[in-house]
Structure 1
Amino acid sequence: MSELDEILARYTHPETGSIHGASFVAVDAQGNDLYRGAFGRTKVDPANPESKPLSLNTVTWIASQSKLTTSVAVMQAVEQGLVGLDDDVRKIVPALRDIQVLTGFDDDKNQPILEDLTGPLTLRQLISHTSGFAYDARHPLLIKYSKWAGRTAHMFDGSIAGQTHPLVFQPGTSWIYGPGLDWAGHVVEKLTGDTFDAFQQKNIWEPLGATKTTFFPTKRGITAGDLHELALRTPGKGTKQGLTAGASPWPMDCQDSLGGAGLYSTASDYIRLLKALVGGGSPILSAASLDEMFRPQVSAASDADMRTFINSTGPKNSKAWLWTDDDTKHWNDYMKVRSCLCGLVNSEDVVGKNDARRRSKGTVNWDGLPNLLWFVDRESGVAATFFTQIMPMDDAEARKLCTELEEALYRLVEKRA
């Protein structure tokens, strides 16, 4: 077995491993496979009669790995002359025309304190998390506002209504994780008159030859039994791996194509997208659009707010994929990252254990809620994605597995060189 095979087999072993199923795929800038592997099973309980060996074609909810595809779609719309990155999208989407900023709450009057926008709301802001849109279930003011307004729609209900609420700061003045990418996809819908799913199929997945990626899996005949099942990490309970089967927070039957978290895909499909990006963009993007998408975008103050936000969600947040053996430090203690139009971009090289080579300066990466991860290292000519389905986010075992895989991958790259 190769070193990468051995790592995946060890972590997914039904008796001694810690993960029920995981896939890892990597390619180089010339389009050659560096590694393809899927280990474990599709269901948490190995005795489940529906459980099958996990494959690179197993359909998986990819959550926020959807955001990369939305950024690509936005850049395509810009290339097609439909819109500019700095156009005010309130002129395109009626639902955003009267949007306001929630600055506080008057408890005496039980009223939200709202103010009008002082500038435009742009596509660039929507896809770089600087628009002021925050996830409603994670922001104290929005939780309070939703209760006051009697909102029943929410961030996980699969509708654009679930992402319809006030901003939490004036666009362009800070950084916060939220549904900006959902609205960016909605902008593309309004510009084209088609669903965002149809736009992506025509402009991304069909040119790449990807056949199983969609916002609407049931319309493709995909059932819950076909999916990689979500596992909950519950030490001492469930399987010998400490996992119990859990219900996915995302519905299979969604109302809208939500570009922030709604895609179902496979490792085989997703690596086709990364192969195009690490190879220069063709056939889906121009080199100029790719450069724009991957370069740092926001102000130093907004980048500082981004690092504060990510650090606040956990000492080793998966969005950087930069963990070390020192559990006492945040990833931000080791290196700086900046926000671009599709994730985070490294400001310096990453060095692993014993000075092992890892990602180069300029690498862009992001993740998906059930511990999926991707990165594109154009300097080294390497792109990779890791698929699994484990909650909660930033699972320690998944982090360790990804770190081992990354270091082994770069050893393979050096060997081939």
Structure 2
Amino acid sequence: MNFDRLTNFLNWLVDWRIPGLDIMVAKDGETVYRYQAGYKDREQGVKMQGDELYQIYSASKVVTCAAALTLYEQGKFLLSDPVSEFIPEYAHLNVKRVKPNGEVVIEPARKVMTLRQLFAMTSGLTYDLNSPAILETVDRTGGKAPTLEIAKAIAREPLVFEPGEYWRYSLSHDVLAAVVEVVSGMSFGEYVKKAIFEPCGMKESAFLMEDEMKPRLAKQYKFDDSKGVYEPITQHNEYVLGTEYESGGAGMISSVEDYMRFGRMMTRMGVSDNGERVLSPGTIELMRTNHLGEKQLRSFDWERFLGYGYGLGVRTMMDRSVSGSTGPVGEFGWGGAAGAYVLLDPENGLTAYYGQQMRNNQEGFVHPRLRNLIYACMEL
């Protein structure tokens, strides 16, 4: 193994437009590469040290779905169960339709939304954080609406298609977090701590920002396309809809080392660093199996995911000739709005996590190259 090419690329990224980054790569559970470059806080001249905490945004989704699947293994639900069985507000959903004459109408949904559709992003929900129902709930609670209450509010908004019709990125995993609360009888964050963080030895991760975490946060930036530069922005995470809201889709705070503890467990097909069984191999196989039909796959059309399908909260490699990936079929993971990248490859015992804290994150450029460079340097 020789990681010079990867190091050169990472240094180039910092010279190009990435303020700071941190990456860890493990083979068969052992770290084979770790590198930081750039700044935790450019304005103060504080360089990356490797102990930074990040708002990982949608990289939270992999953890959320894994936590929910621990309940699946306890027989608490089936993927075919209606969401309304756990949150009754989902029993009578509406769908926004456009008639041939262009008229927009709101009609009752003809199909039932299932838990599978929440996992697989085929629910018909949107990612509209400013919908009237959400804004009303946040305002009424003084910004303290908990996870389940927001999930109930989401049900009041019309779907954009019948459940199961297409794939669309949405608040599905936030609703799934509320289902976890109902099924477990615990807050979402408490359950994830019990089911995932503790058995994986993750002591630097949470779904609500704790005061002691704030000094360790990498400063958040945003790349300005018009100026060609990145600029500092506030640490605000707009997906966290209040002080009591634990966003299963985008609310997790973690470090590179801590997330790698989770990643290694997934790559070992469910066994943590300390040998504890967290998930069964069959459940992880189910998670990384494509759950989209042909019509749904056509709507999973982000360019960087060509050749991939979508499983239970993760991309999953299906066709190398289409993707151009040098990784194997079955490689899976996800990313985050500030640039996080998760790569899980059980066949090769390969786990990688890349940390970054910049919105407008350039992931379409960075992530595919990062993936291919990791495989090249690993000689896999």
The residue correspondences of 1:14-413 to structure 2 (distance < 5 A) are 16-28=15-27, 30-45=28-43, 48=44, 52-104=46-98, 113-136=105-128, 146=131, 151-152=135-136, 160=147, 161=150, 163-164=154-155, 165-218=157-210, 221-223=212-214, 225-234=215-224, 242-250=229-237, 254-282=243-271, 283-307=277-301, 310=302, 316-317=303-304, 320=305, 332=306, 336-349=307-320, 358-393=326-361, 395=362, 399-413=364-378
Distance apart, 1:152 and its partner CA:
4.8
> 2: CA distance between counterparts of 1:177 and 1:228?
26
Unaligned runs of 5+ in 1: 138-142, 311-315, 321-331
The alpha carbon displacement at 1:186 in A equals 0.4
Partner of 1:326: none
Maintained 8 Å contact 1:7/1:401: no
**Distance verdict in 2 for CA 1:288–1:211, change over 3 Å:** same
Query: Is the Cα–Cα contact under 8 Å of residues 287 and 314 in structure 2 kept in the other structure?
Result: no
Cα displacement (A) at 1:128 = 0.3
* Post-superposition CA distance 1:56-75 (Å, at most 9, x none): 33110111101101110111
TM-score by length of structure 1 reads 0.77
For residue 27 of structure 1, report the CA deviation from its aligned partner: 1.5
User: Does the 8 Å CA contact 1:350/1:358 hold for their aligned counterparts?
Assistant: no
Per-residue deviation, 1:255? 2.3
User: How many percent identity over aligned positions?
Assistant: 23
Tell me if the contact between 2:91 and 2:112 (Cα under 8 Å) persists in the aligned partners: no
The letter of the residue matching 2:231 is T
CA distance in structure 2 between the aligned counterparts of 1:117 and 1:352, rounded to whole angstroms: 35
Shift of 1:97: 3.2
User: Where in structure 2 are there 5+ consecutive unaligned residues?
Assistant: 272-276
TM-superposition CA deviations, 1:166-190 (whole Å, max 9, x none): 2211111111110101011100101
**Would the aligned equivalents of 2:124 and 2:161 in 1 still touch at CA under 8 Å?**
yes
For 1:120 and 1:352, the matched residues in 2 are separated by 33
Give the structure 2 partner of residue 325 of structure 1: none
Work out whether residues 85 and 124 of structure 1, in 8 Å CA contact, stay in contact via their aligned partners in 2. Answer: yes
Distance change (3 Å), C-alpha of 1:114 and 1:58? same
Q: Distance in 2 between matches of 1:101 and 1:402?
A: 35
Contact 2:17 2:229 in 1 (8 A): yes
Give the conservation status (yes or no) of the 8 Å contact 2:57–2:251: yes
TM-score for both structures, normalised by structure 2:
0.84
State the shift of 1:42 in Å. 1.0
Q: d(CA) in 2 for partners of 1:179 and 1:248?
A: 21
Local SS of the residue matching 1:265 = strand
Q: 1:102 to 1:254 in 2, by over 3 A?
A: farther
CA distance in 2: counterparts of 1:108 and 1:409, whole angstroms: 49
The 10-residue stretch of structure 1 (158-167 or 119-128) with the greater mean CA deviation from structure 2: 158-167
**Aligned partners of 1:58 and 1:407: how far apart in 2?**
26
User: How big is the shift at 1:249?
Assistant: 4.6
Runs (4 or more) in structure 1 with deviation over 6 Å come to 350-353
Matched pairs, number: 360
Q: Is contact 2:167–2:299 with CA below 8 Å preserved after alignment?
A: yes
Q: Residues 14-70 of structure 1, C-alpha deviation per residue, up to 9 Å, x if partnerless?
A: xx4532110111122x2111212222221132xx2xx53323331101111011011
Find the counterpart in structure 2 of residue 323 from structure 1.
Answer: none
Measured against aligned partners, the alpha-carbon deviations of 1:78-135 in whole angstroms (never above 9, x if no partner) come to 1012111111120211332333222259x999xx733223333211110100111111
